[in-house]
Amino acid sequence: MANSSEILKHVLSTPPRSAEPIVYQFLMPNEKGLDNFLNVYSAHAAASAASTTDNGPALNTSSQDPNAMPSAPSGAAAMAPAPEIEVSIFTAATETFARKNTNCSVAESLQRFAPLIARARDHNLRVRAYISVALGCPYEGPDVDAHAVAALAVSLLEMGADVISVADTTGMGTAPRTRELLKTLAAAGVDRQDLALHFHDTYGQALVNALVGLEHGVREFDAAVAGLGGCPYSPGATGNVATEDLVHLFESLGLKTGVNIEKLAAVGKWISEEIGRPNESRAGKATLSRISREKGEGC
């Protein structure tokens, strides 16, 4: 996280071109992380207030980047609305993973987060709280106590968290256990509108589990283009469910995501090539293959 402050400065001072505000989530492992974040965030807010004019928003007219992300908007669509910033915190559903990942117990992590959440709310920042290994732990196995997950979610909401992202960090989750966890959360009083789901696709179950969440009424899902991601404290875990695959699934069910799958697939291909990782999105690769055939370029 050494370069996080530089990334935040860039996002705030030079927001990417977008017709709609982009939400950025910054992980805050502790108070020091929040201090660093607020130093940059508050300085930018003060500078913006001092330099505000009545000239309206400026267009992003930066020079072409040879490695530019495909399908960047231009003209009126190139307006750069202020980005929306969320503070993200993370605890775990098991003691072993909590100590491996954050070097503290689950109870100690909650004690750390109480003042952190309060300070974030004082700055009108939304707080997103992650509960890792909610459906399987690499150290304690797949049978994670759903009631313990629900108790954590309730505690974090009572502290002031806006959203609880329940994470299947290992990808061990199955449809029956995902359904049981969601029922347990509901029985504990956790509203589905306060939930997000975060599935890794290690065992190829992420889309199935997402469908279970959708049927339960959850409408917010974490995903990563090209299925990128992973966790150093979850040996063998693959990346998050691919955004392209999730969009394809939801659109096939008649849900309107507002996402252009062709442009999304192009982004997945681009970032995979940029960082030298394989593109793990089946829907993305199939979409690109179809486009290639339609253009007569072959497979």
Give catalytic residues, as residue numbers. Answer: 231
Which among 103, 135, 132, 124 is positioned nearest to 30, based on CA atoms?
A: 103
- In the block, tokens 């980005």 appear at 83
How many other C-beta atoms can be found within 10 angstroms of the C-beta atom of residue 231? 21
**Residues 38 and 93: beta-carbon distance below 8 Å:** no
| Residues in contact with 248: Cβ distance below 8 Å, sequence separation at least 6, in sequence order | 261, 283, 287
Query: Is 282 buried (19+), middle (13-18) or exposed (0-12) by CB count in 10 A?
Result: middle
d(CA 286, CA 46): 47
Which among 193, 194, 113, 185 is positioned nearest to 149, based on CA atoms?
A: 185
Distances from the Cα of 27 to the Cαs of 30, 63, 64, 134, 264, in angstroms?
9, 31, 31, 18, 25
Distances from the Cα of 42 to the Cαs of 37, 228, 262, in angstroms?
8, 31, 38
d(CA 296, CA 299): 9
End-to-end CA distance of the chain: 40
d(CA 144, CA 133): 8
d(CA 135, CA 176): 11
Amino acid identity for residue 87 in this structure: V
